[in-house]
Amino acid sequence: MVRRRFLDEPPVPDRLVARVRELSRPLRKPADLTPLVDRAGPAKVVLIGEASHGTHEFYAWRAALSKRLIQEHGFSFVGVEGDWPDCYRVNRFVKGFPGAAPDAASAVETFRRWPTWMWANEDVREFLQWLRRYNDSRPEEGKCGFYGLDVYSLWDSMREVMRYLRKQAPEVEQAGRRLLSCFEPYGDEQEYAMATLFGGSCADEAVGLLSQLRAHAEAADGDGRDGHFVAEQNALVIKNAEAYYRAMVRGDSESWNVRDRHMAETLDRLLARHGPGAKGIVWAHNTHVGDAQFTDMAGEGMVNLGELAREHYGELEVVLVGFGSYEGTVIAGAEWGAPHEVMDVPAAREGSWEWVLHEAGPGDKLLVFPEGGAPELAERRGHRAIGVVYRPQYERYGNYVPTALSRRYDAFLWLAQSQALEPLLPAEVADEHEVPETYPTGV
- Percent of the chain at pLDDT > 70 equals 93
More confident position, 79 or 5: 79
Whether the CB-CB separation of 323 and 58 falls below 8 Å is answered with yes
Question: Residues of the chain with pLDDT > 90: what percent?
Answer: 82
Q: Please state whether the peptide bond connecting residue 85 to the residue before it is cis, i.e. omega within 30 degrees of 0.
A: no
Of the pLDDT bands very low, low, confident and very high (cuts 50, 70, 90), residue 199 is confident
For residue 1, pLDDT beyond 60? no
Average pLDDT over residues 154-166: 94
Model confidence pLDDT, tens digit, residues 133-151: 999 999 999 999 999 999 9
Euclidean distance between CA atoms 297 and 302, whole angstroms: 5
Which of 189-193, 241-245, 281-285 has the highest mean predicted lDDT (pLDDT)? 281-285
Task: Note whether 361 and 21 are within 8 A (CB).
Answer: yes
CA distance 200 to 280: 38
Buried-exposed string 189-220: b where 16+ CB fall within 10 A, e elsewhere: bbebbebbeeeebbeebbbbbbebbeebeeee
In whole angstroms, what is the distance from residue 384 CA to residue 327 CA? Answer: 11
Burial 259-298 (b: 16+ CB within 10 A, else e): bbbbbbbbbbbbbeebeeebbbbbbbbbbbbbbbbbbebe
Average pLDDT score over residue span 150-178: 93
pLDDT at position 432, please? 44
Q: What is the pLDDT of residue 251?
A: 76
Count the neighbouring beta carbons within 10 Å of the beta carbon of residue 6: 14
**Which domains, ranges and CATH numbers included, belong to the chain?**
2-147+279-418 (3.40.1660.10), 154-251 (no CATH)
Q: Please report, to the nearest 10 degrees, the dihedral formed by the alpha carbons of residues 325, 396, 288, 161 taken in order.
A: -110
Does residue 440 have a cis peptide bond before it, meaning omega lies within 30 degrees of 0?
yes
Q: Is the pLDDT of residue 397 over 80?
A: no
Q: How close are the terminal C-alpha atoms of the chain, in Å? A: 37
pLDDT digits (tens, 9 = 90+) for 228-268: 999 999 999 999 999 999 998 887 789 999 999 999 999 99
pLDDT tens-digit map of 105-137: 999 999 999 999 999 999 999 999 999 999 999
Whether the pLDDT of residue 189 is over 90: the answer is no
Phi and psi at 257, nearest 5°, equal -65, -40
pLDDT in tens, 257-270: 999 999 999 999 99
- For the beta carbon of residue 71, count every other beta carbon within 10 angstroms: 12
Region 21-36: what's the mean pLDDT?
98
Q: What angle do CA 126, 259, 352 make, to 5 degrees?
A: 70
What is the rounded average pLDDT of the residues 343-360?
96
User: Residue 191 — very low, low, confident or very high, per pLDDT cuts 50/70/90?
Assistant: confident
Predicted local confidence at residue 3, as pLDDT: 38
pTM listed for this prediction: 0.94
Q: CA-CA distance, 119 to 199, in Å (whole number)?
A: 37
Residues in the chain: 443
**pLDDT bracket for residue 7 (50, 70, 90):** low
Q: What is the mean pLDDT of the chain?
A: 92
pLDDT in tens, 287-342: 999 999 999 999 999 999 999 999 999 999 999 999 999 999 999 999 999 999 99
pLDDT band at 344 (very low <50, low <70, confident <90, very high): very high
Phi, psi of 343 (to 5 degrees): -120, 150
Specify whether the CB–CB gap between 403 and 352 falls below 8 A. Answer: no
Provide the CB-side half-sphere exposure for 162 (13 A, CA).
14
